[in-house]
Chain A
Amino acid sequence: MTKPKIAFYWCASCGGCEEAVVDLGEGLLTVVELVEVAFWPVALDFKREDVEALEDGELAAAFINGAVRTSEQEEMARLLRRKSAAVVAFGSCAILGGVPGLANLYEGRDILDLVYHQVPSVDNGDGTLPAPESRVAEGELTLPAFDATVRTLDQVIGVDYYLPGCPPPAGLIASAVTALVEGKLPARGAVLAPDVALCSECPRAATKPDKLLVRAFRRPHQMLIDPELCLLAQGLVCLGPATRAGCAAACPGGNMPCTGCMGPTSSVVDYGAKALSAMASLLDADGEDEVAARVAEIVDPVGTFYRYSLPASLLHRRVRPAARDEKEEVAP
């Protein structure tokens, strides 16, 4: 029997998804025995032409991590789509845009100006900026233009499966590869993780009050966090109720709140809006003043509720203001 061929590719990512694959440990050697890795640029010296030489649909699956930001990434995504029977969006950035998707809050030129002109360590008296074309003594040099807009993978190509997490947990990766090898993948469009809220697998679940009410939101640096008690019950913004399970509640296990990297369950369109409404439903406040006070305790709504999902949100990016100030619009 010929082994199924698979590819790993990274678009705009941090490399953590690749580490998660390496972290399969001996499991990685098992995977290598079951499948033929046809393309994996971070670890293997294969070329794009090796992918181009494949028949269309010859790859059983392409695991693509990272968001899409450059034309080169878009081209590779399209090429892998053509060559693959199944495309798996791997990790928060490919699925939701991820932390670097917060760049969608700004224009590219704002970022360039800050990085090359404003930061205190830069020594740039003549105001040089990286440019698409520049002339040096020996000839012409080109750079890709800088684009601040981050897109999710399924905003660029069709995606068959979603493997969530920042990075995806080892257990979910292993079951996805096993399902692939055994031909037991679920219906296309599935998220390869349990479709229940994170609280269901949190070791603190038993301490979550039946009727949970938050009198005041607190921040992790302001308090000693009880290692056993439900984090919401301690007044911390823990996004477990709005977030998909599958990571064994790793962050609460590290005695810190869930920040939502696994994304929403299948019934939710806009993760941030869902997370915000989950927190709002816990407010124990009477009257508008108290509500306003509680809301003011959440000092950074965008970074708190859309930390991984701004490009996938209904807004997708900063709404270019006509005559508004610098405040960001957040879905209500």
Chain B
Amino acid sequence: MTGQILIDPMTRLEGHGKIQIFLDDDGGVDRAYLQVPELRGFEKFAQGRRAEDMPQITSRICGVCPMAHHMAATKALDDLYQVDPPPAGRKIRELLYSTFMVEDHALHFFFLGGPDFIVGPDAARQKRNILGVVDAVGLEVGKEVIGVRKQLRDLVAAVAGKAVHPVFGLPGGVSQSLSSEVRQQAAAAAARAVEFGQFALGAFRAIVLGNAGYVDLVTSEAYTHRTYYLGLVDEANKVNFYDGRLRVVRPDGTELLTFAGRDYLGHVAEHVEPWTYMKFCFLKDVGWTGFADGADSGVYGVAPLARLNAADGMATPRAQEAYEEFVTTLGPGPVHHTLANHWARIIELVYAAERMAELADDPEITDPQVRTLPTAAPREGVGVVEAPRGTLFHHYQTDERGLVTAANLIVATQNNAARIALSVDKAARALIRNGQVSDGLLNQVEMAFRAYDPCFGCSTHSLPGQMPLIVDVRDAGGALLREIRRD
């Protein structure tokens, strides 16, 4: 029986997408295709806009990670106008960026990806959500998750104007200085975030590591790909979200190269397929050889697991301790298990919280000098940050008035697109046999890509909306045998 399965729409994702699965004669999976059915074209309508409006315009690519686009765009403006922020301006940016990373990672672990583990991959669909999480871990924990996020987002709003669609980024710094009251607010939020990070780590240990079935699932071949990894690192090769050099490691963990964001076009390229609006990034240094893992394929990964793989550790003590436990348990060398992204995400949450605390503790952060006014004529600028979902590149060219003439955006999920496609295909192969498809199995296929926390809204700069999820089973002649819809 040759058949076709289409999963449409995926829920609990920030965007649209569908999975089309072709079965072979034995009812096993021939190949699964992940399709992204929308495109918005931010690059096009960026043209003609004022460069200084790009942080606010591009943040509308994604309301879940608006700070990532806002910050990448702001850093591109630094480069465009050849201007560096004064120390306080830079520190305020990194403080808010760290705050955003904590709350975004917390959102993913507890609201989006976490339900798969906390409630269980085979649980009824009505339970696999934040309310199911609250049922499983208790209302107090649920309130703590919501309360921490609120405190963090209130802090962002206090400095950036708004948490969703911040307004504070300008070339050479930020729009306003940090008062000592807000610094105290930041210190309090940071202290709570550090504690929350330890709690999340404990919860992960108890729920996932304490369950042999889950550990087998995480380390199973179905969720494993040996690819290259890319991430920003500081001078000591520790994970950094805000700044640094881009480092690429091979599947065996050795360094392939490092490069500055401005040189991205020398190392990263995008492959186009006719069956999806998503473009697939690959390493130019290795080349595109199709959807394959291994050292001969330019396919690479980004996001929490990739960042940990591309770095030599974490820059803060508690995160480093958690990193060592992670490497001892799943290492040595790069961890290729996609589902380990959930663990890596919490380790990053711990780092971001500790970094918040360091910055809030730094008296220089309240210095009133937060802007360096540009004097150079604008021409071209590139900005790079690590978004929660991976490396994010913004590249603008302008005329002499600072009006954008060309924009190129390579967003986090796009870097991961080929690896996500591999993951979905492989998970489908392992989990669908003899044409047998259950809701729990489909959810496990979805888990393969939910682990990346993919944002298809970001990745095609498409209009995210509900993701259609249809399962079509077709026979060898292409006739429809069965359809399962999830919409």
Do A48 and B487 form a contact, CB below 8 Å, given A26-B147, A122-B279? yes
In the complex, are the beta carbons of A254 and B175 less than 8 A apart?
A: yes
Shortest Cβ distance from A267 into chain B, in angstroms? 26
Taken together as a complex, chains A and B put the C-alpha atoms of A73 and B150 apart, in Å, by 31
In the complex, are the beta carbons of B43 and A114 less than 8 A apart?
A: yes
Taken together as a complex, chains A and B put the C-alpha atoms of A304 and B49 apart, in Å, by 8
In the complex, are the beta carbons of A220 and B52 less than 8 A apart?
A: yes
Taken together as a complex, chains A and B put the C-alpha atoms of A227 and B11 apart, in Å, by 43
Please name all residues of chain A whose beta carbon is closer than 8 Å to the beta carbon of B128 when the two chains form the complex: 45
In the complex, are the beta carbons of A302 and B275 less than 8 A apart?
A: no
Do A43 and B129 form a contact, CB below 8 Å, given A141-B33, A254-B175? yes
A residues 205-257 touching B (CB-CB < 8 Å): 219-225, 227, 250-251, 253-256
- Give the residue name and chain of the B residue nearest to A247 (CB): B162
Please name all residues of chain B whose beta carbon is closer than 8 Å to the beta carbon of A268 when the two chains form the complex: none
Please name all residues of chain A whose beta carbon is closer than 8 Å to the beta carbon of B258 when the two chains form the complex: none
In the complex, are the beta carbons of B166 and A219 less than 8 A apart?
A: no
In the complex, are the beta carbons of B279 and A303 less than 8 A apart?
A: no
User: A98 at the A/B interface (Cβ < 8 Å)?
Assistant: yes
Please name all residues of chain A whose beta carbon is closer than 8 Å to the beta carbon of B271 when the two chains form the complex: 123-124
Taken together as a complex, chains A and B put the C-alpha atoms of A19 and B284 apart, in Å, by 37
Interface centre among B143, B167, B457, B468 (most CB of A within 10 A): B167
Stretch in B55-63, B313-321, B328-336 with 4+ CB within 8 Å of A: B55-63
- Give the residue name and chain of the A residue nearest to B159 (CB): A254
User: B50 at the A/B interface (Cβ < 8 Å)?
Assistant: yes
- Give the residue name and chain of the B residue nearest to A20 (CB): B164
User: A129 at the A/B interface (Cβ < 8 Å)?
Assistant: yes
In the complex, are the beta carbons of A16 and B164 less than 8 A apart?
A: yes
Taken together as a complex, chains A and B put the C-alpha atoms of A67 and B463 apart, in Å, by 9
User: B338 at the A/B interface (Cβ < 8 Å)?
Assistant: no
User: A76 at the A/B interface (Cβ < 8 Å)?
Assistant: yes
Please name all residues of chain A whose beta carbon is closer than 8 Å to the beta carbon of B365 when the two chains form the complex: none
In the complex, are the beta carbons of A255 and B176 less than 8 A apart?
A: yes
Stretch in B184-192, B262-270, B427-435 with 4+ CB within 8 Å of A: B262-270
Which of A19, A46, A70, A299 makes the CB contact (< 8 A) with B126? A46
Stretch in A100-108, A180-188, A278-286 with 4+ CB within 8 Å of B: A100-108
Stretch in A54-62, A131-139, A152-160, A193-201 with 4+ CB within 8 Å of B: A131-139
Please name all residues of chain B whose beta carbon is closer than 8 Å to the beta carbon of A144 when the two chains form the complex: 37-38
In the complex, are the beta carbons of B43 and A123 less than 8 A apart?
A: no
Do A25 and B147 form a contact, CB below 8 Å, given A10-B464, A136-B33, A253-B161? yes
In the complex, are the beta carbons of A19 and B288 less than 8 A apart?
A: no
Please name all residues of chain B whose beta carbon is closer than 8 Å to the beta carbon of A13 when the two chains form the complex: 63, 463-465
In the complex, are the beta carbons of A10 and B60 less than 8 A apart?
A: no
User: A331 at the A/B interface (Cβ < 8 Å)?
Assistant: no
Taken together as a complex, chains A and B put the C-alpha atoms of A261 and B57 apart, in Å, by 12
Do A256 and B168 form a contact, CB below 8 Å, given A15-B457, A130-B274, A303-B50? yes
In the complex, are the beta carbons of B279 and A116 less than 8 A apart?
A: yes
In the complex, are the beta carbons of B164 and A167 less than 8 A apart?
A: yes
In the complex, are the beta carbons of B170 and A9 less than 8 A apart?
A: no
In the complex, are the beta carbons of B45 and A103 less than 8 A apart?
A: yes
Please name all residues of chain A whose beta carbon is closer than 8 Å to the beta carbon of B402 when the two chains form the complex: 219, 221, 299
Which of A47, A146, A222, A299 makes the CB contact (< 8 A) with B277? A146
Do A130 and B63 form a contact, CB below 8 Å, given A20-B164, A72-B468? no
In the complex, are the beta carbons of A251 and B161 less than 8 A apart?
A: yes
Interface centre among B9, B35, B40, B403 (most CB of A within 10 A): B40
User: A192 at the A/B interface (Cβ < 8 Å)?
Assistant: no
User: A28 at the A/B interface (Cβ < 8 Å)?
Assistant: yes
| Number of chain B residues close to chain A: CB under 8 A | 107
In the complex, are the beta carbons of A44 and B129 less than 8 A apart?
A: yes
User: A321 at the A/B interface (Cβ < 8 Å)?
Assistant: no
Taken together as a complex, chains A and B put the C-alpha atoms of A58 and B39 apart, in Å, by 34
A residues 116-173 touching B (CB-CB < 8 Å): 116, 119-124, 128-131, 134, 136-141, 143-144, 146, 148, 166-167
In the complex, are the beta carbons of B41 and A103 less than 8 A apart?
A: yes
| Number of chain A residues close to chain B: CB under 8 A | 94
In the complex, are the beta carbons of A221 and B275 less than 8 A apart?
A: no
Interface centre among B40, B150, B170, B465 (most CB of A within 10 A): B465
In the complex, are the beta carbons of B160 and A111 less than 8 A apart?
A: no
Shortest Cβ distance from B272 into chain A, in angstroms? 5
Shortest Cβ distance from A296 into chain B, in angstroms? 10
Shortest Cβ distance from A287 into chain B, in angstroms? 24
- Give the residue name and chain of the B residue nearest to A67 (CB): B463
User: B77 at the A/B interface (Cβ < 8 Å)?
Assistant: yes
Please name all residues of chain B whose beta carbon is closer than 8 Å to the beta carbon of A111 when the two chains form the complex: 39-41, 43-44
Please name all residues of chain A whose beta carbon is closer than 8 Å to the beta carbon of B295 when the two chains form the complex: none
Which of B52, B125, B163, B274 makes the CB contact (< 8 A) with A219? B52
Please name all residues of chain B whose beta carbon is closer than 8 Å to the beta carbon of A227 when the two chains form the complex: 176
Which of B4, B107, B143, B272 makes the CB contact (< 8 A) with A29? B143
Do A121 and B175 form a contact, CB below 8 Å, given A130-B276, A141-B33? no
Interface centre among A17, A20, A138 (most CB of B within 10 A): A138
Please name all residues of chain A whose beta carbon is closer than 8 Å to the beta carbon of B274 when the two chains form the complex: 128-131, 134
- Give the residue name and chain of the B residue nearest to A76 (CB): B466
User: A270 at the A/B interface (Cβ < 8 Å)?
Assistant: no
Please name all residues of chain B whose beta carbon is closer than 8 Å to the beta carbon of A254 when the two chains form the complex: 159-162, 166-168, 175-176
In the complex, are the beta carbons of B77 and A43 less than 8 A apart?
A: no
Shortest Cβ distance from B335 into chain A, in angstroms? 28
Taken together as a complex, chains A and B put the C-alpha atoms of A48 and B66 apart, in Å, by 29
User: B250 at the A/B interface (Cβ < 8 Å)?
Assistant: no
In the complex, are the beta carbons of A143 and B161 less than 8 A apart?
A: no
User: B260 at the A/B interface (Cβ < 8 Å)?
Assistant: no
In the complex, are the beta carbons of A259 and B56 less than 8 A apart?
A: yes
User: A325 at the A/B interface (Cβ < 8 Å)?
Assistant: no
In the complex, are the beta carbons of A43 and B126 less than 8 A apart?
A: no
User: A115 at the A/B interface (Cβ < 8 Å)?
Assistant: yes
Please name all residues of chain B whose beta carbon is closer than 8 Å to the beta carbon of A328 when the two chains form the complex: 48
Taken together as a complex, chains A and B put the C-alpha atoms of A48 and B466 apart, in Å, by 10
User: A69 at the A/B interface (Cβ < 8 Å)?
Assistant: yes
User: B31 at the A/B interface (Cβ < 8 Å)?
Assistant: yes
Please name all residues of chain B whose beta carbon is closer than 8 Å to the beta carbon of A19 when the two chains form the complex: 63-64, 163-164
Taken together as a complex, chains A and B put the C-alpha atoms of A13 and B466 apart, in Å, by 10
In the complex, are the beta carbons of B465 and A11 less than 8 A apart?
A: yes
0 or 1 for each of B398-416: is its CB under 8 Å from A? (1 = yes): 0001110010101000000
In the complex, are the beta carbons of A255 and B168 less than 8 A apart?
A: yes
In the complex, are the beta carbons of B464 and A15 less than 8 A apart?
A: yes
Given contacts A16-B64, A120-B395, 6 further A-B contacts (CB under 8 A): A10-B464, A67-B463, A121-B269, A130-B272, A143-B35, A254-B176
The 10 A-B pairs of least Cβ separation, nearest first, read A16-B63, A254-B161, A12-B463, A111-B41, A48-B487, A45-B125, A138-B22, A25-B150, A14-B63, A99-B60
List the interface of chain A (C-beta within 8 A of B): 9-20, 22-23, 25-26, 28-29, 32, 41-49, 66-67, 69-70, 72-73, 76, 98-100, 102-103, 105-106, 110-112, 114-116, 119-124, 128-131, 134, 136-141, 143-144, 146, 148, 166-167, 219-225, 227, 250-251, 253-256, 259, 261, 299-300, 302-304, 307, 328
Between A and B, 5 residue pairs with Cβ closer than 8 Å are A12-B463, A41-B11, A43-B129, A254-B176, A300-B48
